[in-house]
Structure 1
Amino acid sequence: MTTRLIDESLFENGEYDGGDPPRLTGARCSACATVVFPRQNSCPRCPDGTMAAHVLPVSGRVWSWTLQTFPPKPPYRPPAGGHRPYHVGYVDLGEVLVEARLAVPRPEIRIGLPVRLTTVPAYRDEEGTDVMTFAFRPEPDGER
């Protein structure tokens, strides 16, 4: 089965071979060191710096979360069988909060939970390719 990333611009190399998840890439301001994700061309805090690609950490902590029970607005594509609720939240990566899917079972999810970057299927395209998106899963004991 073939896979591809939902948006190559979100990731360090823009490629995915099905192994370790690719690193997320945001941007950092050269003047004030503000970090953003996803990348953008201008700093949201100051007019003086230029934004350069900045690879984000792979581990963080759940800052806030909720259960997404209704289908998001387009360009969301529901998986085969229709929308199924999933957890979504903000993950604190130290330099920036990243909004992401949370691949965490309900009994385990909590604010402050250590999590690690992973990928999950978003949908299958017309050619039968699994389109992968980023998410965060619980950090295995001892990895943090």
Structure 2
Amino acid sequence: MTTRLIDDSLFDGADPPRLVGARCTGCGTVVFPRQGSCPRCSDGAMAAHVLPESGEVWSWTVQAFPPREPYRPPADGHRPYAVGYVDLGEVLVEARLDLPRQLIRIGLPVRLTTVPTYCDEDGTQVLTFAFGPDAEDAR
């Protein structure tokens, strides 16, 4: 099956992909996704900044109902999934959590991964970023 990333601008082009945010050249603030100006100081230029691959669950919930557009449900319909904020040290990233609900806890070490989100009309499986178990730490 052919796959593609949901938005190439979110990733660094490596294999496996890493998330790319931006760092302010003035004050050092890191953001994700990238943006053109600093939300803290508005002075510095924003430079691409590759984010760490692993972090910890900062907070989480279950997305029990389909989100609004541009969300595209999978062919078999929306199924609830865990979503949370992952603390990557410099920035909190909102992401799907690719873990069984009973294992998710605040402070749980997690690692970047990709998960299928929907299929294009031509059958291409579209992948988005998520965070899953960090090796043996998901207990």
TM over 0.5: yes
State the match for 1:9 in structure 2.
Answer: 9
TM-score normalised by structure 1 residue count: 0.92
State the match for 1:80 in structure 2.
Answer: 75
State the match for 2:101 in structure 1.
Answer: 106
Unaligned runs of 5+ in 2: none
CA distance in 2, matches of 1:5, 1:47: 31
How big is each residue's C-alpha offset from its partner over 1:37-73, in whole Å with a ceiling of 9 and x where there is no partner? 0000000000210000000000000000000000001
CA distance in 2, matches of 1:21, 1:103: 16
Q: What's the secondary structure of 1:120's corresponding residue?
A: strand
State the match for 2:30 in structure 1.
Answer: 35
* The one of 87, 90, 96 aligned to 1:95: 90
Matched, 1:115 2:105: no
Structure with more helix by fraction: 2
Q: Is the 8 A contact 1:21 1:117 kept in 2?
A: no
State the match for 1:141 in structure 2.
Answer: 136
Q: What's the secondary structure of 2:135's corresponding residue?
A: coil
Unaligned runs of 5+ in 1: none
Runs of 4+ in 1 over 2 A off after TM superposition: none
Same amino acid, percent of matched pairs: 76
How big is each residue's C-alpha offset from its partner over 1:55-100, in whole Å with a ceiling of 9 and x where there is no partner? 0000000000000000001000000111000000000000000000
How big is each residue's C-alpha offset from its partner over 1:93-129, in whole Å with a ceiling of 9 and x where there is no partner? 0000000000010110000000000000010110000
Q: CA RMSD in A?
A: 1.1
Q: What's the secondary structure of 2:89's corresponding residue?
A: coil
How many residues in Structure 1 have an aligned counterpart in Structure 2? Answer: 137
TM-score normalised by structure 2 residue count: 0.96
